[in-house]
Amino acid sequence: MSNEGNALVVVANRLPVDFTVDDAGEISWKRSPGGLVSALEPVMQQADGAWVGWNGSPDLYADPFEADGMTLVPVTLNADEIEQYYEGFSNDTLWPLYHDVIAPPAFHRQWWDAYRRVNRRFAEAAAVQVATGGTVWVHDYQLQLVPSMLRELRPDVRIGFFDHIPFPPYEIFAQLPWRRQVIEGLLGADLIGFQRNGDAANFLRTVRRLTRHSTRGQVIAFEDKTGRAVREVRASAFPISIDSQGFDALARREDVVARAEQIREELGKPDIIMLGVDRLDYTKGIRHRIKAYGELLHDGRLGVEETTLVQVASPSRENVGAYQELRDQVETAVGRINGDYGELGHAAIHYLHHSYPPEEMAALYRASDVVLVTSLRDGMNLVAKEYIAARSDDRGALVLSEFTGAADELNGALLVNPHDIDELKDVIERAARLTPEEQRKRMRRLRRKVMTDDVAKWSRTFLETLEAMPVVPVAPELA
């Protein structure tokens, strides 16, 4: 960091590195791969950037340090804060509330207090890092109070916020006991980005219902007592993407292509390999997918010698009850289907409760004939985009839930309502039977979109829109 501070500061719940502590208490870290960091790295290096985030473990204190041309600023959380702010309010209140209450959200006042306390800590860390007149970009639902807290501390900076998950309709959001505080927290930003137009529209409607501000199109006006506009906030859609070129190049690598071939062989060279890749999360519709697949086997429309389903379910939020329940349900269903329909050497479902490095994922995508994305609600879904970027051979088929942000963009996917199990069965079977010519036609259309609209374009568009926001002098009582 220069003496003047950082021109661009990113604030996200997690730092883009994994920390480990050895037996002697020595802390080391290594880069965790991710689209967001690869998109922001060039901008961060140029802008003398800093990234403020949690290091993923309890009570781990570390000073800011340099990594790949960025300053990383660790925020420390203790065990109670992890339980109440991260597992509690973020992932057992906001996450289910923002995903159509698929699981019931829990409302606890202590969790809210911890959420406020931790958001303030992130805001203070960002306020220390950012240069005069600099830019701060805050990410996701864990940190919705940071924009207004930061504006109070540093009225001189531009503040952007991006919501990576859906923003719910007012009628659902209204359940939140602290609904006004959350909206006011977000309105501290100059620009609020969402995945879909529908999310931005839900937010704007919520602002009209809960505050006195008027909206004109996507702009929210802050007025003084005489009705003069003193500040503007914009709420628009900026659909996120992946490092498309990087993923395409990875999937073309000789070792990855060879590994894809090896995977097909290890699975017994079935005609059709189906693949699901998800964090083990109840929003992903994993149970619906498995049910539909099991029924297709039961009906004899698919057979285990001809096809197999590989389901990668990476461990996630394992201390939250709803995730523990889901794991039991998924594993019971997989066990039953394998028991009922599997044969020696022909498992119906290969279920993998692990996470894998990007090389292995790229090989799995290349080895698969059909990828199943059946989310019940999903902000975007980047698995869909990774699959497309990996298929430079123009092969494969994508079954995509209409309840994903990706469905708004990916013309060429086979869209489905995952709640309708009969429709889901029909679409899975149709995807399995697409001719190579039909696959090519659809995949080419999908690749034109994904290879053009990558994550670098996403971050550039967001930051340029933020820089173009009018800077209006703010009267102290309105700041």
Residues at the contact surface with ligand G6P, assessed by CB under 6 A = 13-14, 140, 164-165, 316-317
Instruction: State in angstroms the smallest separation of the CB of 278 from ligand G6P.
Output: 11
Residue 5 C-beta: closest distance to ligand G6P, Å: 26
Of 114, 131, 121, the residue nearest 2 (C-alpha): 131
Least distance in angstroms from the C-beta of 353 to ligand G6P: 15
Q: Which is nearer to ligand G6P, 131 or 145 (CB)?
A: 145
Annotated active-site residue in 190, 281, 378, 453: 378
Q: Are 270 and 308 within 8 A, CB to CB? A: yes
> Which alpha helices (H) appear in 87-145, and where do they start and end?
95-98, 109-129
Instruction: Please count the other Cβ atoms lying within 10 Å of the Cβ belonging to residue 148.
Output: 20
416 Cβ contact list (under 8 Å, min separation 6)? 374, 399, 400, 401, 402, 423, 424, 427
Catalytic position from the list 99, 139, 164, 288: 164
Shortest distance (Å) from residue 380 CB to ligand G6P: 9
The CA distance from 36 to 456, in Å, is 9
The span from the CA of 282 to the CA of 442, in Å, is 29
- Residue 394 bears catalytic tag: no
Q: Which two structure tokens, joined as six digits, stand for 385?
A: 């985009």
Burial class of residue 116 (count of CB atoms within 10 Å of its CB; 0-12, 13-18, 19+): middle
Q: CA-to-CA distance for 450 and 243, rounded, in angstroms? A: 9
Dihedral pair phi/psi, residue 51, rounded to 5°: -125, 120
Closest approach, Cβ 379 to ligand G6P, in A, equals 6
Q: Which is nearer to ligand G6P, 85 or 341 (CB)?
A: 85
* Residue 350 falls in the annotated catalytic set: no
108 sits in the region (left: phi over 0; alpha: psi -120 to 50; else beta) called beta
In angstroms, rounded to a whole number, what is the distance separating the alpha carbons of residues 41 and 165? 22
The residue among 103 and 302 lying less far from ligand G6P, judged by its C-beta, is: 103
**Residue 37 or 400 having the CB closest to ligand G6P:** 37
Complex with ligand G6P: residue 142 or 307, whichever CB lies closer: 142
In whole angstroms, the minimum distance from the beta carbon of 356 to ligand G6P comes to 15
DSSP string of 354-405?
A: S---HHHHHHHHHH-SEEEE--SSBS--HHHHHHHHH-TT---EEEEETTBG
Measured from the CB of residue 404, what is the shortest distance to ligand G6P in angstroms? 12
The residue among 94 and 469 lying less far from ligand G6P, judged by its C-beta, is: 94
Nearer to ligand G6P, 224 or 318 (CB): 318
Of the candidates 118, 168, 158, 165, the one whose C-alpha atom is nearest the C-alpha of residue 141 is 165
Residue 69 is encoded by which pair of tokens?
């041309």
Catalytic residues: 164, 378
